Structure 1
Amino acid sequence: MTNPVPLAEIWRGPFLESVHMGHAVIVDGSGQIVQAWGDPAAIVLPRSSSKMLQALPLIESGAADAFGLKTEHLALACASHNGAAIHTDRVQAWLSHLGMGDDDFRCGPQMPDDPVAHKSLLCSDSSPCQYHNNCSGKHSGFLTLNKHIGGDPEYVRPEHPVQKAVLEAFEDLTGETSPGFGIDGCSAPNFATSLYGMARAMAFFATASEGQGTRASAAARLRDAMTAYPELVAGEGRACTELMRAMDGRVALKTGAEAFFIAIVPEKGWGIALKVADGTTRGSECAIAAILVKYGLLDLDHPATRKRMNTPIRNRRGVETGILRPAAGLL
């Protein structure tokens, strides 16, 4: 096993103050490794970076079309959203269309990260609902699939038909038997795989097109929904949204908790997966931006890039005291 390698660094003046170690790999459509840093075989929990995989059965089963879901719904099914009105209004309408309500969710309530929605709840002395949960779009997809197949209400149980369908798709596209799962923050099982397996699955999304078969058609629809609605996938100020906009929809991006990140690159047929070992988001955002810049997919000088890579660190007086930058070995 290869040890994690430096992916991002914090410099304070002339001193290397902190290092974010991790693993990253690029895989092409044939399953070949284009480049790797650290250990591609490292076993990982991809967390919310796996939402596209979790949404495949929603389309493959026919549930998405049976309930008239649009591209925006598919983007939300892949989202870790901020809980802004553009997210929660759509989720509530989706629930209503299913004849369901907030109590049908199993994701749990969450205070929204969107500042306007957050302030509104605080000022009204209201408690957050489950539709505010950043995973409520994914769970709306689960509920849609579950209603389509007539499953019992506890759709997050690992042995439930919804999650069995997710596992089948996950193992097929990663090309690996999952060694197990952890329970995610939204209570759904999150299946483990190798970093290589996750990048391989993303390469499938990168090379998929409608008409190639049920699974490829579903993958293409989800990928294209993400790039069509970057604001639904995350939200204003978030890396996924801002970097997808910066690349004009050429790349689909999705973060996951504990510093996971994936990229889907159709023009190269690549899937990219990375994991920062210490779980720090600033490290994973810097690393994914650096890889995208390295291969000419992202403009080094775009404001969304500079916000996350080669980023000045300032103290409370606004004095520049350091910099967040990619490790030399990543470039």
Structure 2
Amino acid sequence: MYTSSRADAPVAREPHHAPVAHLVRGGLVEGVHYGSVVVLGADGRILFRLGDIEAAFHPRSAVKPLQAAAMLRAGLPLDGELLSLAAASHSGEERHLAGVRRLLGLAGLTEDHLRNVPDLPLDPAVRDTWIRDGRAPGRLAQNCSGKHAAMLWTARLNGWSLEDYLDPAHPLQQAIARTVEDLTGQRIAQVTVDGCGAPLFAVSLHGLARAAARLTTAAPGTPEARVADALRAYPEMASGARRDVSALMRAVPGLLAKDGFEGVQVAALPDGRAIAVKIADGAARARVPVAAAALVRAGVDPALLVPFAGETLLGGGRPVGCVRPVRDLDPGTPTACA
């Protein structure tokens, strides 16, 4: 098993989350989303924190850029759109399926080698079309298939076994664990299994933000910089045409952003300013406006983030409220909640 000289692992405890977003209807707070938020400056100092940023948590798919960097460190010869796909939680669009086939073909492998769980496409519209066409759940359609194809190729390049590439003791997963610890600056708290079947490493929200900053400030040509460059150049390959995370990267110049299931969001700017968000109940409707407010705290022009300010609530077809960040995070008052 891997060993590490990094800082101690974060404590595995029930996180002390705080209110991060309010669901406001007719001027009254109808619901509260709890979570945690951290904003780092370019020098790595904490500029803002809310909730529990040091407890161990599961970053879910927000860790994929770190997994991709680990595979490049292990010799994976990828850049551009296929590297973005290797770090993707893709929507299951045809370009994503075609890209995964290309990855497998370059490795001399087929879909049968994949060990991720069969699933329907992540994007609702793509999924509806898939079902209407009578197509069954498949491994290619599952949102992590690009990562799994890249894992298989990395294993083959290094002469590692393919059948057990998801075993936490496999050399591939050990290499990924070392990279996660290197970039987060802390030992992994525990290892479990992600939804796709791959090992999932528990770190802290603070560590996740620190790792994102390490990617965007890495020297040109390094594995970390190559991952950041690929995701920023091809955000739709890492997500999808209708996904908020790709729209966010298009809206903010130079931004690297990655979402994860259960309300996780991480983002970093080229100078190392970074944010990380965890919504306790996993709600995407809170993740997006909270992340946007955190980016404003990091110094991003608020005008760029207007489309991400919060979901409007309707009553009788008319706007009557919205989901907005709490005042501690965003002292402004969104007009939709007035």
TM-score by length of 2: 0.88
Q: Which residue is equivalent to 1:214? A: none
Q: Which residue is equivalent to 1:22? A: 35
Task: Select the residue among 243, 246, 256 that pairs with 1:241.
Answer: 246
Q: Is the 8 A contact 1:29 1:200 kept in 2?
A: no
Q: Which residue is equivalent to 2:282? A: 279
Q: Which residue is equivalent to 1:121? A: 130
Secondary structure of 1:322 counterpart? strand
Q: Is the 8 A contact 2:21 2:34 kept in 1?
A: yes
Q: Which 10-residue stretch deviates more, 29-38 or 168-177? A: 29-38
Is 1:133 the counterpart of 2:142? The answer is yes
Q: Deviations over 1:30-86 (max 9, x none)?
A: 54222211222121110100001111122112222xxxx331111011110100011
In structure 2, the CA distance between the partners of 1:168 and 1:186, relative to structure 1 (3 Å rule), is same
| 1:80 aligned partner, one-letter code | S
CA distance in 2, matches of 1:72, 1:15: 45
Q: Which residue is equivalent to 2:59? A: 46
Q: Is the 8 A contact 1:183 1:190 kept in 2?
A: yes
How much does 1:3 deviate? 3.1
Q: Which residue is equivalent to 1:222? A: 227
| 1:258 aligned partner, one-letter code | E
Q: Is the 8 A contact 1:205 1:223 kept in 2?
A: yes
Q: Deviations over 1:236-281 (max 9, x none)?
A: 2211111111113x111100111011001113x1232111112212
CA distance in 2, matches of 1:34, 1:194: 17
Q: Which residue is equivalent to 1:327? A: 326
Equivalenced residues, count: 316
How much does 1:191 deviate? 0.3
CA distance in 1, matches of 2:310, 2:69: 36
Q: Is the 8 A contact 2:39 2:294 kept in 1?
A: no
Q: Which residue is equivalent to 1:270? A: 273
Q: Which residue is equivalent to 1:290? A: 293
CA distance in 2, matches of 1:38, 1:297: 22
Secondary structure of 2:328 counterpart? helix
Q: Is the 8 A contact 1:202 1:270 kept in 2?
A: no
Q: Is the 8 A contact 1:4 1:38 kept in 2?
A: yes
Residues 73-112 of structure 1: pairs in structure 2 closer than 5 A: 73-112=82-121
CA distance in 2, matches of 1:330, 1:245: 24
CA distance in 1, matches of 2:244, 2:295: 13
Q: Is the 8 A contact 1:6 1:329 kept in 2?
A: no
Secondary structure of 1:208 counterpart? coil
How much does 1:103 deviate? 1.3
Q: Which residue is equivalent to 2:237? A: 232
Q: Which 10-residue stretch deviates more, 125-134 or 43-52? A: 125-134
Q: Is the 8 A contact 2:57 2:205 kept in 1?
A: yes
| 1:321 aligned partner, one-letter code | V
Q: Deviations over 1:148-201 (max 9, x none)?
A: 111112111111111000000011111111111221011011100111111111
Q: Which residue is equivalent to 1:173? A: 183
How much does 1:121 deviate? 2.7
CA distance in 1, matches of 2:258, 2:304: 21
In structure 2, the CA distance between the partners of 1:298 and 1:134, relative to structure 1 (3 Å rule), is farther
Q: Unaligned 5+ residue runs, structure 2?
A: 1-12, 331-338
Q: Which residue is equivalent to 1:183? A: 193
CA distance in 2, matches of 1:125, 1:182: 34
TM-score by length of 1: 0.90
CA distance in 2, matches of 1:148, 1:10: 50
In structure 2, the CA distance between the partners of 1:277 and 1:103, relative to structure 1 (3 Å rule), is same
State the superposition RMSD in angstroms.
Answer: 1.9
Q: Unaligned 5+ residue runs, structure 1?
A: 212-216
Secondary structure of 1:320 counterpart? strand
